[in-house]
Amino acid sequence: MAVQVRKVYPFTPTFRQVASLYEAAFPACERLPLWQLSWNGLKKGQEFLAYYDKQTFIGLTYTIYTDSLVYLLFLAVEESKQSQGYGSQILAQVKKEAGVCPCVLTIEPMDDPNVSNRAQRLKRLAFYEKMAIKL
């Protein structure tokens, strides 16, 4: 299961797949406009990428590269493809691109025990910690 990477360009079939996952994976209050991500992804220092296993869409990332770090702004894996090693492969690819620069990201707060998706948040935290991503 080798993951292939494609740049996300506006008005393409890949863009439509990415848009669908992006809107499903992130609450509206956390999303940036998709058009902005797709156009900014064409600029130097930013990448909007889609990941595939053969022809099957797996997930997406949006990263910002600086001289001192790589900021992973968005990472999502199709729900039907989660817990199959794809997220680990995608993060490994991001870390490879980062080289010696640390990969950092932000996640939801863990201090509210009453949120409806607490188990999901804790699983996400454990995944990023396992992958040695700086939070």
Q: Is the dihedral of CA 12, 15, 17, 23 positive or negative?
A: negative
pLDDT the model gives residue 60: 97
pLDDT the model gives residue 135: 56
pLDDT tens digits, one per residue of 70-120: 999 999 999 999 989 998 899 899 989 888 888 888 777 767 777 777 777
Which one-letter DSSP state was computed for residue 2? Answer: P
Q: How many CB atoms lie within 10 A of CB 103?
A: 19
Its pTM stands at 0.85
Give the domain ranges of the chain. 3-130
State residue 90 phi and psi, 5-degree precision.
Answer: -65, -45
pLDDT tens digits, one per residue of 13-31: 999 999 999 999 988 988 9
| CA–CA gap between residue 49 and residue 71 (Å, rounded) | 14
Query: Left if phi > 0, otherwise alpha if psi is -120 to 50, otherwise beta: which for 53?
Result: beta
Fold classification of 3-130 (topology level): Aminopeptidase (3.40.630)
